[in-house]
Amino acid sequence: MKRVALHTLGCKLNFAETSTIGRQFSDRGYTVVPFDQQADVYVLNTCSVTERAESDCRYLVRRVLRQAPTACVILTGCYAQLRPGELAGIDGVDAVLGTSEKFRLFDHLASFEKKETPEIFVSCIDDAPAADPAYSAEVGGRTRAFLKVQDGCDYSCSFCTIPRARGESRSVPPADLLLTARRLAGEGFREIVLTGVNVGDYGRKNGGSLLALLAELDRVDGIERIRISSVEPNLLTRPLIDWILGSAKFCHHFHVPLQSGSGGVLTRMRRRYRPDLYAGLVSYIAASDPDAAIGADVISGFPGETEGEFSDTARFIADLPLSYLHVFTYSGRPGTAAEGMPAQVEPRVRFKRSAILRNIGRMKRRTFHERFRGATVPVLFEQEIGSGLHSGVTQNYIRVEVASSRIRPNDIVPVTITECGEDDCHGVPAPQVK
């Protein structure tokens, strides 16, 4: 039986799509193996968000060829869509497939064997097909699934390549998503994470809305938790917040991209909100449910960012009731408006600013964790990470480790938090009330 290995660079949306490609191979008799094992075919789903993701792609191709020099190497994803010739020029690459071709490997490739000349199948992104549902399982088995609900983006943020890599905003039909959600429930998944490029834009073009989709998914039997990966600030309305906080099934966890706390930087980024709108949203969530998790993305060292603008961002974040930060050091992307902007910030300054923001983020996360010391909270356990040591997450996105011989993956167990750290918490199973 032939073997295939798949690897994902980038976001959870990419993970969902890679898993869907893997199931296509499984349906045709292939055995899916880890990427560091010998295989006949290697599929790498690429990312173009940062220069690091692109260099990782080239490194992984070289690593594959060292361990399996005769294997067929296929590259797909955002990097493949944007610069297919560059990827095809990497020694050992056999095929490059773009966004529209990603799920049609078996239609385009007559065989999965080493080729003398790489094959390229990349069509115009304007011809990208309708969004199809895709999902991936979280590490540990059938516990948490990432469900793709939307693809593409109609925004024009000056630093972003995603619209050129994935096309315009497209939504997966609600009927397809409900069918997939019920299938996931039947397979034993207890939590679904809704993913996409711009999830908050769901349904806008066909008369639907994200809120209407949430109401439908809320009625799916068997799924006990539903989490939203992220929602843009200009699309996170108070009615949407109220509905999520009023649902027993939807997690009180909001990831709201910020990117900068400076109005001037947000304008150069072409973001669709100002700091005061963002601050109002975060404050409203925290006031409505002090236990809700609120996360943010932030970019340091954007072109033209002055010391004053960076200080504004650092103060802005420090004053907000955020639970955690994802900090990204600005990385210029070919073809974006930001790449040609004047006053590019020196790399050493970008990294220094990132370190400052990450330190703020660590303090925010620890402070949030400490609020739950002594509290008893339900934890969905995902995997055993050591002999009798189990790891899972709370509804509000706190990772918890518990030593117990009675816990199994996919159990939801009430846990009393006893210790808190920057990255996770530790606890003990709470006594069961009879």
pLDDT tens string 119-159: 999 999 988 778 877 898 755 567 899 999 999 999 999 99
Which pLDDT belongs to residue 49? 80
Which pLDDT belongs to residue 141? 61
pLDDT-based confidence at residue 373 (cuts at 50, 70, 90):
very high
Cα–Cα distance for residue pair 117/66, rounded to 1 Å: 19
Tell me the mean pLDDT in the region 236-259: 98
* Block residue for tokens 């095809």: 88
Tell me the mean pLDDT in the region 271-295: 98
pLDDT-based confidence at residue 404 (cuts at 50, 70, 90):
very high
Q: Given a cut of 90, is residue 286 above it in pLDDT? A: yes
Distances (CA, A) of 299 to 142, 203, 274, 338, 396: 34, 28, 15, 13, 24
pLDDT-based confidence at residue 48 (cuts at 50, 70, 90):
confident
For the stretch 200-242, pLDDT in tens is 999 999 999 999 999 999 999 999 999 999 999 999 999 999 9
Which pLDDT belongs to residue 68? 93
- What is the pTM assigned to this prediction? 0.93
Residue 425's SS3 state is strand
All residues at 6 or more sequence positions from 385 whose CB lies less than 8 Å from its CB, including other chains: 391, 401
Q: Given a cut of 60, is residue 397 above it in pLDDT? A: yes
Tell me the mean pLDDT in the region 317-323: 98
Which pLDDT belongs to residue 376? 98
Residue 279's SS3 state is helix
Which pLDDT belongs to residue 87? 94
Domains assigned to the chain: 3-127 (3.40.50.12160), 130-251 (3.30.750.210), 253-371 (3.30.750.200), 376-429 (2.40.50.140)
Cα–Cα distance for residue pair 371/364, rounded to 1 Å: 11
The Cβ of residue 403 has, within 10 Å, a number of other Cβ atoms equal to 14
Tell me the mean pLDDT in the region 190-197: 96
CA Rg value for the chain: 22
- Could you tell me the two tokens for 125? 């992104």
The whole-chain average pLDDT of the chain stands at: 94
Nearest CA among 424, 433, 420 for reference residue 375: 420
Residue 334's SS3 state is coil
Tell me the mean pLDDT in the region 374-394: 95
Tell me the mean pLDDT in the region 241-266: 98
Cα–Cα distance for residue pair 69/15, rounded to 1 Å: 25
All residues at 6 or more sequence positions from 138 whose CB lies less than 8 Å from its CB, including other chains: 144, 145, 146, 382
- Could you tell me the two tokens for 101? 């071709």
Strand partners, 136: 146
The DSSP line for 320-332 is S--SEEEEEE---
Which pLDDT belongs to residue 140? 53
All residues at 6 or more sequence positions from 289 whose CB lies less than 8 Å from its CB, including other chains: 245, 252
Of 63-72, 194-203, 379-388, 423-432, give the range with the top mean pLDDT: 194-203
Which pLDDT belongs to residue 7? 94
The percentage of the chain sitting over the pLDDT mark of 70, rounded to a whole number, equals 98
